[in-house]
Amino acid sequence: MIILEATVITAGYSKLDILKEVGIRVRDGEIVSIIGPNGAGKSTLLKTIFGLLKPRHGRVMLQNRDITGWSPDKIVKEGISYVPQVDNIFTSLTIEENLEMGAFIRRDDFSGRLAEIYDLFPMLAERKKQKAGQLSGGQRQMVAMGRALMLDPQVLLLDEPSAGLAPNLAAMIFDKIKAINKTGVSMIIVEQNAREALKMAHHGYVLAMGKNVLDDSGKALLTNKEVGKLYLGG
Ligand SMILES: Nc1ncnc2c1ncn2[C@@H]1O[C@H](COP(=O)(O)OP(=O)(O)OP(=O)(O)O)[C@@H](O)[C@H]1O
Ligand SMILES: [Mg+2]
């Protein structure tokens, strides 16, 4: 079953089109990775899906609902959460307050969900009273992901989760991503670390200059000669 689909998306900032008829499809339970050079429009695509940008053309469908042009606060209620590339935590708040902020629209008791997030990220539980601004890059990324998970989304959008992290911390984040996916959350991940992103992906997309270049299973893209030469370092 297709859970999320964006079709022939044309979108950009002011009058300039960045995305040109881009499409992406996520099946229920999948990790879909998007790779491509700087400026390809990867972040712009996530922003468009999440309603931060209104597409000039095209549609975004979540299951059978057309959510094109909806505001982010409405989209989040429908089950999509988004972790932006930068500025994705409240540095002056504690870890726990950050997680509580993630549940801001929940009217019910979310203590059970909070406990699940702490199970997934034990390090966050150990330091829950610490200010998020004092944390390392890898720890901040866990806070950001934990916050996005508080609403128990169907689909999680992650923009460059391993950016700026040392290899061991990046590996830890990738393990967490796989663990989150195993709980049934479908995901779109934008990554500079194309090799790792494709390794964990059920399906992958290559974007360049605002257009779809190629899409295939993660495995097939990993062994694709062109992808190897351009994005996997040989
Ligand atoms: N807020 C903005 N206003 C105007 N142009 C923007 C804005 N954000 C991005 N752009 C431009 O849109 C294009 C695509 O940017 P985008 O951030 O989507 O690329 P990306 O694939 O995520 O790149 P990176 O790998 O560097 O994160 C770039 O040319 C960028 O300069
Ligand atoms: Mg980007």
pLDDT tens track for 52-72:
999 999 999 999 899 999 999
Ligand 1 pocket: which of 44, 49, 52, 211 to mutate (most atoms within 8 A of CB): 44
CB within 5 A of ion ligand 2: which residues?
42-43
If DSSP codes are grouped into helix, strand and coil, which group holds residue 17?
strand
Atom of ligand 1 lying closest to residue 41 CA: 18
Ligand 1 pocket: which of 9, 10, 13, 190 to mutate (most atoms within 8 A of CB): 13
pLDDT digits (tens, 9 = 90+) for 26-43: 999 999 999 999 999 999
Which two structure tokens, joined as six digits, stand for 187?
């995901």
Residue 157 has pLDDT above 80, yes or no: yes
pLDDT digits (tens, 9 = 90+) for 118-140: 999 999 999 999 999 999 999 99
If DSSP codes are grouped into helix, strand and coil, which group holds residue 141?
helix
How high is the mean pLDDT of the chain?
95
pLDDT digits (tens, 9 = 90+) for 174-213: 999 999 999 999 999 999 999 999 999 999 999 999 999 9
Ligand with minimal distance to 35 CA: 1
* CA neighbor of 34 nearest in space, from 159, 182, 175: 159
Q: How many CB atoms lie within 10 A of CB 76?
A: 20
Determine what percent of the chain is predicted with pLDDT higher than 70.
100
Residue 202 DSSP class: S
Q: For position 150, what pLDDT does the model report? A: 95
Residues with CB under 6 A from ligand 1: 13, 18, 36, 38-44
Ligand with minimal distance to 48 CA: 1
Atom of ligand 1 lying closest to residue 210 CA: 14
Q: Give the pLDDT band of residue 234 (cuts 50, 70, 90).
A: low
Which two structure tokens, joined as six digits, stand for 157?
């959008």
**Buried/exposed 170-208: b ≥16 CB within 10 Å, e otherwise:** bebbbebbeebbeeebbbbbbbbbbebbbbbbbbbbbbb
Q: Which fold has domain 2-87+154-231?
A: Rossmann fold (3.40.50)
Q: How far is the CA of 104 from the centre of ligand 2 (A)?
A: 27
Q: How far apart are the first and last CA of the chain?
A: 35
* 149-166 average pLDDT score: 95
If DSSP codes are grouped into helix, strand and coil, which group holds residue 151?
coil
